[in-house]
Amino acid sequence: MTDQTTTPEELEALLARAAEAAPGWAAHSPADRADTLTAVADALDERADELLPLAKEESRLPDGRLAGELKRTTFQLRLFAELLRDGAYLDARVDHADADWPMGARPDIRRVLVPLGPVLNFAAGNFPFAFSVAGGDSAAALAAGCPVLVKVHPGHPRLSARTGAVVAEALRAAGAPDGVLGLIHGVDQGVTALRDPRVKAASFTGSIPGGRALFDIACSRPEPIPFYGELGSVNPTFVTRAADAARAEEITEGFVGSFTLGAGQFCTKPGVLAVPEGSAVLERLRSTTLPGPAPMLTSRFAESYARRLGELSGHDAVGPLTVGEDAYADSPAPALLTASIEDVLANGDELLAECFGPAALVVTYAEESQLVALAGALDGQLTATIVGEDDDAVAPELVRLLADRAGRVLWNQWPTGVSVTYAQQHGGPYPATTAPTTTSVGTAAISRFLRPVAYQGFPEHLLPDALKEANPESLPRLVDGKPAV
């Protein structure tokens, strides 16, 4: 607990204001909400000189990383604004009455997506801008027309408070209702809010135990709600023999750069690398000079990492590949461990669990058919990568299996760095996430905070604008099964 801990009275006020703001914010046209999101992005950019030093002080992240992350955050807000102005996200559908419909007379039915209501966003610790107060989950929910209550991460409370103030000021100036954004401090306060019937959906980025506990609460409420949790992933990478023979130096450099990026504190860090026994990549990894020590986000992160690294390195099936003396320091040096694929398949629960920090397990195989076995043994993942050649015989089956296990499958690229795009998928089967049909990055994330409503037989003046025959906002729609405006 800190001095900023939200009191019960403050929490009740936040919940009440969010519930009161929900109808008004939902009633704002997509174009109005787009203008508001753009105003928020502009305000954050204008306050960069104030926000970036706070972020550096609380997160220990370097200047360049933080500046890029703030840029990503404001870019995402503007991208959602473009989505709102286009209007296709509403998935508006109009079926006119048809007496000759083959299944019997069809009534006039019109369907559109509407906001869920207040959303509770549990902010992440490893991205103080991009997955925090104004980051992905908040941006998507605000774009959808939902008020947002952010459960502040204890790793950057002062930055969160200041970011929240900047965003709230911009929202008010743009005409958004009071209560569209609120901040909650404190673990117990976050759980209390999750249980409150005024909260209609929740999002989370963090550990498997923490996320699963919150997911269970969300599902066991008298009125269960959607819970979009991003939990854990080892993001395996499979290197074929042909790729190893052709590009060992390039693969080694790419892997080292990816697993050590940001001191290994990316949810997409490649934590498992499968290479042939005696491979050129393996030998290069033995002799390569890894980057020096780098600070973890907080001492708590460093302690958790050291504990998990100790469990992994202490396993009978695991040996050191490149482990420095300061691998367990508060600012740890990167560590590479190794194990045979047979041992990994026999001890998957222990060896294929996430180690959040600058460490990775290099798995050696004798036959490429064993890569298929490893892919089949995986739990759900955010990403899975194949480093191969176009004519690799193992590739088609490997792609099929990995697409079944991961939300994003990569070919000869590294998974760290999740671009904010229209087609991005940042999610995957459990335990990578609790909602494998959705994404937390990219414009498709807006769909998590919307639900469909069909209006049957209504007169024109009682229909939402998106479903009116006149289509006053010129939205793209599906009319009698055909695209139209």
Q: What is the predicted pLDDT for the residue at 2? A: 45
The token pair that represents 110 in the structure block:
């019109």
State the span(s) of the chain assigned CATH 3.40.605.10: 8-231+435-479
> Is position 169 annotated as part of the catalytic site?
no
Structure tokens at 295: 């600070």
- CATH 3.40.309.10 maps onto the chain at 237-411
Q: Hey, what's the torsion of the CAs at 304, 306, 308, 313, to 10 degrees?
A: 180
Catalytic-labelled residue, pool 69, 230, 354, 368: 230
- 3 has pLDDT over 90: no
Report, as an integer, the average pLDDT of 27-36: 96
Report the chain's mean pLDDT, rounded to a whole number. 96
Residue 325 has pLDDT above 90, yes or no: no
The pLDDT, as a whole number, for residue 1 is 37
473 vs 118: which has the higher pLDDT: 118
How far is Cα 86 from Cα 36, in angstroms, rounded to an integer? 15
pLDDT score, position 485: 75
Burial of 485 (0-12, 13-18, 19+ CB in 10 A): exposed
Known catalytic membership, residue 69: no
**pLDDT tens string 93-129:** 999 999 999 999 999 999 999 999 999 999 999 999 9
In tens, the pLDDT along 364-385 reads 999 999 999 999 999 999 999 9
Answer with the residue of higher pLDDT: 417 or 210.
Answer: 210
- Tell me the CATH class for 237-411: alpha beta
Catalytic residue among 146, 267, 355, 368: 267
Q: Quote the pLDDT of residue 164.
A: 97
Q: Which two tokens stand for residue 233?
A: 């992933």
Looking at the domain that runs over 8-231+435-479, which CATH code has it been given?
3.40.605.10
- For 247-278, write each residue's pLDDT tens digit: 999 999 999 999 999 999 999 999 999 999 99
> Which DSSP symbol is given to 221?
S
pLDDT in tens, 287-303: 999 999 999 998 999 99
In the predicted model, is pLDDT for residue 204 greater than 50?
Answer: yes
Least confident residue range of 29-38, 49-58, 323-332, 382-391: 323-332
Locate 96 and state its tokens: 């006119």
